[in-house]
C-alpha cells in the first residue's frame, strides 16, 4: 500500500440526543460519515463507545459500500447488531482495491473485530533450513522470518514431522545438526558421529568437497528429486557390493532405508503437483472446518485443521475467502492454491497474494481430474474433523449440563473458573486461574497471580483471599465501566460483556471455600456459585468431596462422567499453578543478590564472584577486601559494602 496517498477520516460520536447502542443511532452515525466519504477504494472500521473495533471491511468504492449499512432492514442479524453498537466510523483510502484487501486482512488479524470472520490458532509453521552462512552447512528446524541465509523447505504441518524428517535426513545424508558455536568448540567427534548421523566435519573427518556432496544430496531430496537421489544411492550400494566393500554397501543400504522411511509418510502425492496448498472447507450446523494440506517439491508435508470463528449465517464461500486472506497474512503463499469452493473475488485475492509473494499466485477450484480428487480428499478430512469437533462439543455440553444438575445451578454454565495455589514453604507463591467452557479449556483466558500481601505466602487461606480479591474487584470495576458506556443515560442499556463466571471451582476444602465466600461477600458479589473440591481420604482420586455454601458436602459415584470431568478441571488448574510456580522458581535460581546492587554490571559481578567465590562471601567481605578486587575502586567498594550492611541511602 502506498502510504503517501492514505487518508484517515473519522466521524465523531453523534450528539447526546440519541442513546448509543440502538440501530437508529448507529445508522445515523454511518449517514454522517457518508457526507465526507470518498468514492475511491479503501478500508472502513466500525467502532463502539469504548473505541474497540467492531468490524473491518474493504471496498472498491467506500461510499457505495458503506451506504448499504444504513438500509438496516436489508441487513442480517449479525450486521444489525454491529450497526446498533457503532458510534464511530473510520476509513483509510488506498490506491487500489488490492491494497485495500491486503490492509483489511492485516487489520482483522491485528484488531480481531467481534463481527468479522476470525482465524483462531493462527500459528506459524516450521521449516527445514539448510544454512548458507557456514562452510559446512547445518540442517535445523526453523520457525519465523526467513532472514538467515540458506535454503528453506516447508512449511511442515507440525514440529513433530519436521523433527522426524531431520532425523531421517541425518541418517540418510549424515549432515550435521549442531549449532555453529558447538561446531567451533569441538575437539573430538560427538555422539551424532558415533551413531552414524554425522560425518564429523567439525574435527576434519570429512573433506569439504565430500560434505558439500552430502548437502547437495539432502537439498535435492528436499527439492522433490527424491527418486533420483535414491536411485543414485542404489547404484553406489551395488558398486560397493560388487567391489566387496560390504561395509560401505551396508552404509548405503541404511541411507536408502532412511529415505524410504520419509517417503512412507508421503501418503498423498499427485503427479505434476510441485509447490501447492490444498484448502477445503466443510460447513454444517453453523460451524466450519477448514483443512489445509501442504505440498512442497511434490511431497506431502502434512495437514492442519482450522475452526474459524464466524456468524452462523455466513455461507461457506465467504468464510473460506476470509480465511485465505488472513491465513497468508504472515505466511508465504505457494504458486498454486487449490480450493474446494470458488470465491466471489477469487482473481482479486490471487492478485493480492501475488503482491505479497512478489510472484504469480494462482487460485483454482478444480472440478475434475487428479486435482479435484486431492481437494475431495481434503474435504473428507475437513468433514471428519468437523464431526469430531461437534462430537466433542456435544459431550462437553452434556458434562456441563451434568455439572449444573449436580450443584443445582439455574442454567448450564458457559464459563467455569478453577483456582489453585502453589508454593514451597511460602516461597515463590502464586495463584492460578484456568477457564473452561463449551469448547473445552479457554487457555487464552488463563491468569497468574503473584502473591504480594505480607504474610500471605504460605497461608493457603490468605492466598485464596488475595487471589479472589484481585480477580473480582477488577471484574466489578470493568463491569461497571462497561455498563456506564452502554447506558450513559440510565435508560437500560445492553448487558455488560465482562467475563463473568457461571461457576467457580476451588481446589481445597471447607476452609478455602469460606475464604472465597468472605471475599465475595465483602465485594457484594452474590451471583457466583462457589464449589470447593477436596481430595478424598489418602488423597485418593475418585473419593473427592464437594463443598458448597447451602448444603452438606457431597460425593459422586466413582465412575460418574461428571466426576471425571471435575477432576480434569481441578488437575488442569493444578498443572497450571505448578508450572507457573516452577517457572518463577527457575527464574529466581538464575538471580543473585549482586543483581540488586546499583552500579554493578555483568563485568564487575563476574570479577567479584571470581574473587570471592559466591555472592554470600561478597556480602560478608570487608571494605578493604572489596577494594582489592580488580575493577572495583574505593567508591564502588563503599557502595557494595553499604548495600549489604544496611548503610545505604
Contacts of 164 (CB under 8 A, 6+ apart): 262, 265
Chain centroid offset of residue 285 CA: 26
Q: Is the pTM of this model over 0.85?
A: no
Name 506's bridge partners: 419, 532
291 vs 108, 349, 361, 364, 427, CA distance in Å?
21, 19, 20, 16, 47
Residue 487 near residue 493, CB atoms below 8 Å: yes
- Alpha helices (H) along 358-459: 369-407
Counting as low any pLDDT under 70, the low residues of the chain are 1-21, 121-122, 261-272, 424-426, 455-458, 479-498, 536-542, 585-592, 646-649
**In the prediction, which pLDDT does 171 show?**
83
**In the prediction, which pLDDT does 121 show?**
64
**In the prediction, which pLDDT does 10 show?**
41
- Phi/psi zone of residue 440: left (φ > 0), alpha (ψ -120 to 50 degrees), beta? left
**In the prediction, which pLDDT does 525 show?**
84
Contacts of 255 (CB under 8 A, 6+ apart): 171, 172, 173, 233
Residue 419 near residue 573, CB atoms below 8 Å: yes
**In the prediction, which pLDDT does 154 show?**
83
Other beta carbons within 10 Å of 550: 7
- Alpha helices (H) along 223-285: 226-242, 246-264
* Pairing relationship of beta strands 336-339 and 276-284 according to DSSP bridges: parallel
**In the prediction, which pLDDT does 222 show?**
82
Q: What is the distance between the alpha carbons of residues 433 and 449, in angstroms, rounded to a whole number?
A: 8
Q: Which domains does the chain possess? A: 3-111 (3.40.1440.10), 127-264 (no CATH), 276-388 (3.30.420.10), 415-485+500-588 (3.30.420.340), 593-645 (1.10.150.20)
**In the prediction, which pLDDT does 19 show?**
39
**In the prediction, which pLDDT does 438 show?**
85
Residue 503 near residue 562, CB atoms below 8 Å: no
Contacts of 544 (CB under 8 A, 6+ apart): 533, 534, 535, 536, 555, 556, 563, 566, 567, 570
For the chain, what is the largest distance between any 2 Cα atoms, rounded to a whole number of angstroms? 97
Amino acid at each position: 500500500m502506498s502510504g503517501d496517498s492514505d487518508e484517515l477520516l473519522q466521524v465523531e460520536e453523534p450528539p447526546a440526543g440519541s442513546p448509543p447502542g440502538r440501530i437508529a443511532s448507529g445508522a445515523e452515525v454511518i449517514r454522517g460519515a457518508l457526507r465526507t466519504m470518498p468514492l475511491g477504494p479503501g478500508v472502513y472500521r466500525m467502532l463502539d463507545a469504548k473505541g474497540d473495533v467492531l468490524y473491518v471491511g474493504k471496498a472498491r468504492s467506500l461510499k457505495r459500500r458503506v451506504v448499504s449499512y444504513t438500509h438496516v432492514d436489508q441487513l442480517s442479524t449479525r450486521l444489525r447488531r454491529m450497526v446498533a453498537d457503532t458510534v464511530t466510523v473510520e476509513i483509510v483510502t488506498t490506491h487500489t482495491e488490492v491494497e485495500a484487501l491486503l490492509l483489511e486482512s492485516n487489520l482483522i488479524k491485528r484488531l480481531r473485530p467481534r463481527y468479522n470472520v476470525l482465524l483462531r490458532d493462527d500459528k506459524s509453521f516450521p521449516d527445514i533450513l539448510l544454512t548458507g552462512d557456514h562452510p559446512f552447512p547445518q540442517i535445523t528446524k526453523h520457525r519465523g522470518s526467513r532472514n538467515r541465509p540458506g535454503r528453506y523447505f516447508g512449511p511442515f504441518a507440525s514440529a513433530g514431522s519436521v523433527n522426524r524428517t531431520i532425523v531421517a535426513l541425518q541418517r540418510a545424508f549424515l549432515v550435521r545438526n549442531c549449532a555453529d558455536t558447538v561446531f567451533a568448540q569441538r575437539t573430538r567427534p560427538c555422539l551424532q558421529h558415533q551413531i552414524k548421523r554425522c560425518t564429523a566435519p567439525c574435527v576434519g573427518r570429512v573433506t569439504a568437497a565430500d560434505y558439500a556432496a552430502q548437502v547437495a544430496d539432502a537439498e535435492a531430496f528436499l527439492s522433490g528429486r527424491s527418486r533420483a537421489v535414491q536411485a543414485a544411492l542404489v547404484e553406489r550400494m551395488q558398486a560397493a557390493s560388487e567391489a566387496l566393500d560390504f561395509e560401505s554397501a551396508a552404509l548405503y543400504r541404511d541411507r536408502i532405508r532412511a529415505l524410504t522411511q520419509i517417503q512412507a509418510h508421503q501418503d498423498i502425492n499427485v503427479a505434476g503437483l510441485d509447490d501447492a496448498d490444498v484448502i477445503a472447507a466443510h460447513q454444517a450446523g453453523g460451524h466450519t472446518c477448514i483443512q489445509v494440506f501442504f505440498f512442497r517439491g511434490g511431497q506431502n508435508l502434512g495437514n492442519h485443521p482450522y475452526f474459524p470463528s464466524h456468524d452462523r449465517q455466513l455461507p461457506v464461500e465467504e468464510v473460506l475467502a476470509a480465511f485465505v486472506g488472513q491465513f497468508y497474512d504472515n505466511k508465504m503463499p505457494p504458486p498454486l492454491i487449490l480450493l474446494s469452493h470458488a470465491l466471489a473475488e477469487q482473481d482479486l485475492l490471487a492478485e493480492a497474494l501475488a503482491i505479497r509473494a512478489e510472484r504469480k499466485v494462482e487460485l483454482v477450484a478444480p472440478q475434475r481430474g487428479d486435482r479435484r480428487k486431492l481437494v475431495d480428499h481434503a474435504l473428507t478430512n475437513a468433514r471428519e474433523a468437523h464431526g469430531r469437533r461437534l462430537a466433542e462439543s456435544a459431550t462437553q455440553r452434556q458434562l456441563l449440563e451434568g455439572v449444573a444438575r449436580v450443584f443445582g445451578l439455574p442454567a448450564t454454565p458457559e464459563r467455569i473458573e478453577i483456582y489453585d495455589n502453589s508454593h514451597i514453604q511460602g516461597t515463590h507463591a502464586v495463584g492460578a486461574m484456568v477457564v473452561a467452557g463449551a469448547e473445552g479449556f479457554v487457555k487464552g483466558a488463563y491468569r497468574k497471580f503473584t502473591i504480594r500481601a505480607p504474610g500471605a505466602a504460605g497461608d493457603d487461606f490468605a492466598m485464596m483471599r488475595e487471589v479472589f480479591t484481585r480477580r473480582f474487584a477488577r471484574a466489578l470495576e470493568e463491569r461497571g465501566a462497561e455498563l456506564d458506556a452502554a447506558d450513559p443515560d440510565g435508560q437500560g442499556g445492553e448487558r455488560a460483556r465482562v467475563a463473568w463466571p457461571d461457576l467457580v471451582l476451588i481446589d481445597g476444602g471447607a476452609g478455602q471455600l469460606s475464604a472465597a465466600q468472605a471475599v465475595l461477600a465483602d465485594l457484594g458479589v452474590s451471583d457466583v456459585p462457589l464449589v470447593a473440591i477436596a481430595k478424598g481420604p489418602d488423597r485418593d482420586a475418585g473419593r473427592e468431596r464437594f463443598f458448597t455454601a447451602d448444603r452438606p458436602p457431597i460425593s459422586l459415584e466413582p465412575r460418574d462422567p461428571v466426576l471425571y470431568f471435575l477432576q480434569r478441571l481441578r488437575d488442569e488448574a493444578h498443572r497450571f499453578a505448578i508450572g507457573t510456580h516452577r517457572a518463577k522458581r527457575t527464574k529466581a535460581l538464575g538471580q543473585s543478590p549482586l543483581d540488586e546492587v546499583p552500579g554493578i554490571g555483568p563485568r564487575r559481578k563476574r570479577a567479584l564472584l571470581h574473587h570471592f567465590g559466591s555472592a554470600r562471601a561478597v556480602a560478608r567481605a570487608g571494605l578493604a577486601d572489596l577494594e582489592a578486587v580488580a575493577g572495583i575502586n574505593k567508591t564502588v567498594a563503599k557502595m557494595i559494602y553499604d548495600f549489604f550492611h544496611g548503610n545505604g541511602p
